[in-house]
Amino acid sequence: MPTKKWHILISAIILLIGIILLSLAERKINPEISVAWTALRDIGLAFLVGAVPYALFEWIKPDSSRNGVQYLGSKREIASNLDGQISGAKKRIDVVGLSLNDLFSGSVTPSLIVDKLRHGCHIRLFALDPASSVLDLRAADEGISPQELRQSILNAVDKKWRELSQLLKKSSRDYQHISGRLDLLFYESLPYFTLFRTDEVMVFGLYNRNAACNTSIAFDVSTNEELFRKFEEDIDFLAGSSLIKCKAIHFRGGSGAVYRTIY
């Protein structure tokens, strides 16, 4: 039974108990113990008074699942689930983050990304420009030095970008047979959110102050059409905005293949 129906049933039971207790108190089956009947009446009134507000509160309070927003926990807790979404993606993958170091923390590899391209996926990856002074602000948010932030995440993920670039280079003779598209875009803006989209799945996360990126909280908004559309528009806007400072990798397979990289 849905949660709200349980709450309404509980409210009805509380209300019924209150009516029964009041009814017994009013009858005063044994008038000689008036104190007990007074207490019984007060308890019955308490049940009656409590049942209605309880029912109303449980009925009108926001229901995240009904609104199409589901709390998932931290990015670290759902990492394996996101990896599975990327592995199963057939048409589109969009990821917006600080460094995207977490993208390769599990089963996702540069080889898997290339495999998705071979199957026709359109992939856009957004990461903070490593050369941007904005990085200093994010480091301050996390309570560490910019050097620590670069060493902990940016230097590690840089190796993955180089590996991805080399794989694409080695596949140069197969461009005509790779129908997918890929852009690795470096932006310059202080990130306070992360977005993860594969086909019809959209996960939105927050970057909290004084917390590492992978501990930020995440929400699944896939079934909320309005939020899904809004975040989709935000990704498209970012891709074409002046906030993009560099196309670190630009790949278009198929007819008229294009491949450019800074690596």
CATH of the domain at 168: 3.30.870.10
pLDDT confidence bin for 249, thresholds 50/70/90 = very high
Q: Which residue has the higher pLDDT, 163 or 25?
A: 163
- Residue 42's pLDDT is what? 53
Same-domain pairing of 75 and 14: no
Token pair recorded at residue 234: 């935000």
Same-domain pairing of 55 and 81: no
pTM over 0.85, yes/no? no
Distance between the two ends of the chain, CA-based, in angstroms? 56
Same-domain pairing of 16 and 146: no
Same-domain pairing of 54 and 96: no
Does residue 52 contact residue 77 with C-beta atoms inside 8 Å? no
In sequence order, what are the beta bridge partners of 205?
194, 218
Give 227-233's long-range contacts (Cβ < 8 A, gap of 24+). Answer: 227/68, 227/69, 227/202, 228/202, 231/195, 231/197, 231/202, 231/204, 232/197, 232/202
CB atoms within 10 A of CB 158: 16
* pLDDT tens-digit map of 28-46: 555 555 555 455 555 555 5
Same-domain pairing of 92 and 173: yes
Percentage above 90 pLDDT, the chain: 32
Domain range for 75 is: 70-261
Helices (H), 67-219: 79-88, 110-118, 134-142, 146-149, 155-170
Same-domain pairing of 123 and 250: yes
The rounded mean pLDDT for the chain is: 78
Does residue 33 lie within any of the structural domains? yes
Same-domain pairing of 34 and 138: no
Q: Which of 98, 66, 65 is nearest to 206 (CA)?
A: 98
Q: Which of 60, 86, 108 finishes a domain?
A: 60
Does residue 65 lie within any of the structural domains? no
Does residue 82 contact residue 216 with C-beta atoms inside 8 Å? no
Query: With 50 as the cut, is the pLDDT of residue 184 above it?
Result: yes
- Residue 176's pLDDT is what? 60
pLDDT confidence bin for 23, thresholds 50/70/90 = low
Q: Packing angle between helix 110-118 and helix 155-170, nearest 10 degrees?
A: 40
Q: Which of 36, 60, 84 finishes a domain?
A: 60
Question: If you average pLDDT over each of 138-152, 197-211, 221-235, which comes out highest?
Answer: 221-235
Query: CA dihedral in degrees (120, 122, 127, 129; nearest 10)?
Result: 100
CA 87, distance to chain mean position in Å, is 17
Same-domain pairing of 21 and 144: no
Token pair recorded at residue 18: 């209150």
Q: How many domains does the chain have?
A: 2
Q: Which of 33, 60, 87 finishes a domain?
A: 60
- Rounded to whole angstroms, the Cα distance separating 38 from 79 reads 59
- Rounded to whole angstroms, the Cα distance separating 11 from 83 reads 43
For 144-160, what is the mean pLDDT?
Answer: 83
Does residue 98 contact residue 213 with C-beta atoms inside 8 Å? yes
- Residue 242's pLDDT is what? 92
Does residue 208 lie within any of the structural domains? yes
Same-domain pairing of 106 and 216: yes
Same-domain pairing of 86 and 115: yes
Same-domain pairing of 113 and 156: yes
Same-domain pairing of 172 and 245: yes
Does residue 95 lie within any of the structural domains? yes
- Residue 38's pLDDT is what? 58
Query: With 50 as the cut, is the pLDDT of residue 207 above it?
Result: yes
- Residue 60's pLDDT is what? 46
Return the sign of the alpha-carbon dihedral for residues 98, 244, 117, 261: negative
Q: Which residue has the higher pLDDT, 26 or 132?
A: 132
Q: Hunting for tokens 């008038």 — which residue is that? A: 31
* pLDDT tens-digit map of 44-91: 555 544 555 555 455 444 555 557 788 888 777 788 888 999 999 999
pLDDT confidence bin for 138, thresholds 50/70/90 = confident
